Amino acid sequence: MNSPEQRTSRPVALISGGSRGIGRAVALRLAEDGHDISFCFRGDEQAAANLEKELTASGARVLARRVDVTDAAAVRDWADATEKELGPVAVAVTSAGITRDKPLLMMSDDDWHDVVDTNLDGAYHVCRAVVFPMMKRRSGAIVTVSSVSGLYGNAGQTNYAASKAGVIALTRSLAKEVGRRGIRVNAVAPGLIDTDMSAVLDDQVKQQVTARTALGRTGLAAEVAEAVSFLASARASYVTGAVLPVDGGL
């Protein structure tokens, strides 16, 4: 644990689901922007260790912790540990997410609840853990990771689309609640992004989505991270309650 004397003037970014995919790209981009990084992961300890090593080599102080974002107490403990070890959280990014894709008629109750609990409740738990300290300091930025599925719906993803639509509603409502306290809350809505999550999709499905995408390709996690970097920064100082699609014109 770092003592107060060891703390630097670098702002702190807290990122859920940071070890892989979009969360990993966001962690690297925000470290490049000059943030110290606290990220959580649920399962892939090796990926987390690799990211921690890469972030540390870039000059960032890092706190990596295994956290199930469906567990409110665990998320609060992680946020508290971040403030104690690294300093006040200036930016929070809710990137943890899962899919359990299938038609509603074939969907089990567990398929529904696992996705909603992780994607929507997890975002709520992170926001709830960081927003009060931000309000006391009258500053902060929260960026949630939604999806174009949450904007338009998608066959075979009723659970995922519902959870991501909920994230958008949470984002817009929270922005109205805390804006006068100097806190901005925005969302990104990625389209088909080249990550581990999309790797399990059938090639034909990917081709169909790409064919409907104006730019004619899948996106990169780093391209989503650029949008998060913007929304988290002073460059977006008059942007709150916004949902920024990063979907190549899907």
Give the tens place of pLDDT for each residue, 153-184: 999 999 999 999 999 999 999 999 999 999 99
176 strand-pairing partners: none
For residue 2, tell me if it sits in a domain.
Answer: no
Q: 């665990």: which residue's tokens? A: 74
Residue 3 forms part of a structural domain: no
Query: pLDDT digits over 42-94, tens only?
Result: 988 999 999 999 999 999 999 999 999 999 999 999 999 999 999 999 999 99
Cα torsion angle, 243, 244, 249, 250, sign: negative
Question: 123: burial class by Cβ within 10 Å (0-12, 13-18, 19+)?
Answer: buried
Q: Hey, how many other C-beta atoms are within 10 angstroms of the C-beta on 1?
A: 8
Rounded to a whole number of angstroms, the CA Rg of the chain reads 17
Domain that holds residue 37: 10-244
In angstroms, what CA-CA distances link 153 with 8, 162, 163, 242? 44, 8, 11, 19
Residue 116 CB: number of other CB atoms within 10 A?
Answer: 18
Q: Could you tell me if residue 32 is inside a domain?
A: yes
- The Cα–Cα gap between 235 and 127 comes to 22
**Which CATH number is 233's domain given?**
3.40.50.720
Residue 160 is among the residues annotated as catalytic for this protein: yes
Full-prediction pTM beyond 0.85?
yes
Task: Please report whether residue 4 resides in a domain.
Answer: no
Q: List the catalytic residue out of 124, 152, 160, 238.
A: 160
- Within the chain, what is the greatest distance between any pair of CA atoms? 58
Q: Cα separation of 230 and 174, whole Å?
A: 19
Which tens digits make up the pLDDT trace of 191-200? 999 877 666 6
Distance CA 224, CA 8 (A): 28
Q: How many domains is the chain built from?
A: 1
**Is 5 a member of any domain?**
no
How confident is the model over 6-38, as pLDDT tens digits? 455 899 999 999 999 999 999 999 999 999 999
CA distance 145 to 194: 15
Residue 144 lies in a domain: yes
Helix (H) or strand (E) run with residue 91 in it = strand 89-94
